[in-house]
Structure 1
Amino acid sequence: MSSHPEPATQAATDPARQDLARQVGERLRSLRQAAGMSLGTLAEVAGIGKGSLSEIENGARSATLGTLYALAGALGVPLAALLSGVPGSRVASPGVVALLLDVSVEDGWTVEVYRLRIEAGAEHRSIPHGPGVVEHLLVTSGRARVGRVGAEVEVGVGEAAQWVSDVPHRYQALGPVAVDSVLVIRSPGPAAGSL
């Protein structure tokens, strides 16, 4: 079995992060069981280790942004479903931090709004999301290269980009300063009971 490129990290000692890790774990277990998937099956489909998945479900590990996306994709739910749609939920990968600002479901679509920060020099590659998922990114400071791998565009302050994210895509900070942005992800759905 292959291992996901961004392994889960040990849960932080901060009580708020421990609480989020516990909530994510409970939500993940509930969604996995509702989908009729075993722990081993979900681990295999998401490309992460079964032991790591067990620790995430038990709140003993915090998952990186990439790992959460892999799990959400394997379950066919938006990322916000794993965060229980709680504004203020924060997830990170090396050099990238996403803070959930809002999530809504209307007319058969889930719309997630995140504050996304990409540290200077950092690059984050994201796995494909489900069919029909579209991302919109508005840069509020710095300059970034974003979009589908091989078709990225550069955007600066006040500029926006959008792409269908059903293929690998990336976010990269250009220049010597961090990039602050607003990321909106629009997904068909939600899956039953996902939010």
Structure 2
Amino acid sequence: MPEDKPDRTGSLRIAVARRITALRREKGLSLSGLAARAGIGKGTLSELEAGTRNATLETLYALAGALGVPLTGLVGDETGRSVSDGVVDARLLMVRLHDDGGTSEVFWLTIAAGGTRISPPHVPGTTEHLRLVRGSARVGPQGAERAVDAGGSRSWSGDTVHCYGSTEGAEGVLVIETPRGPA
């Protein structure tokens, strides 16, 4: 008889729901207020907080930015945890919480062939660094993307709308440095 495996998607969905709710309340925001800040529907946020809806990577980044936390502030800092939207898959390799309240997150990033992902702005002062290992990609602030080939790297401000795209597919290491968020 096959071994039963825990429903990791369900438990992650519930954990994310609890974190969003707790952070929203801690910041003194209503559902409507947070939804407006993040640019998502109030119904979507309500379903996310109830744990009845899976969040997309784009929605998680929008909420993280609106709440002033890094992505791991919502999905947790369990090494190996992966979030994906079909174009970008980000698997957490490491998180470092700094004494000054900032965070460094290290992800193994995979960009699907033919895909483009537009990422909402993160917390003010956030910086992203991508070092490609395979393939080629166009990354950076929207409208100012630049090509990066295997062995190359690029850094940009993550507190503006930015893009990840690749015609052939790409893999690399993404470091997101997030300063201490607003109180």
**Fold similarity call, TM over 0.5:** yes
Aligned residue pair count: 177
**1:65 pairs with 2:57:** yes
**1:120 pairs with 2:146:** no
What RMSD, in angstroms, separates the aligned Cα atoms of the two structures? 1.5
Pairwise CA distance, 1:17: 1.0
Equivalent residue number for residue 184 of structure 1:
175
Q: Aligned partners of 1:153 and 1:174: how far apart in 2?
A: 13
8 Å contact 1:128–1:165 — kept in the other structure? yes
Q: Deviations over 1:75-95 (max 9, x none)?
A: 111111001222222212232
Secondary structure at the counterpart of residue 97 of structure 2: strand
Q: Where do 1:5-16 residues align within 5 Å? A: 15-16=7-8
Pairwise CA distance, 1:55: 1.3
Q: Where do 1:37-186 residues align within 5 Å? A: 37-108=29-100, 109-175=102-168, 178-186=169-177
Q: Amino acid of the residue matched to residue 88 of structure 1?
A: G
Q: Higher mean Cα deviation, 61-70 or 146-155?
A: 146-155
Q: Aligned partners of 1:157 and 1:151: how far apart in 2?
A: 20
Ranges in structure 1 where 5+ consecutive residues have no aligned partner: 1-13
Equivalent residue number for residue 3 of structure 2:
none
Following TM superposition, where does structure 1 have runs of at least 4 consecutive aligned residues deviating by more than 3 angstroms?
Answer: none
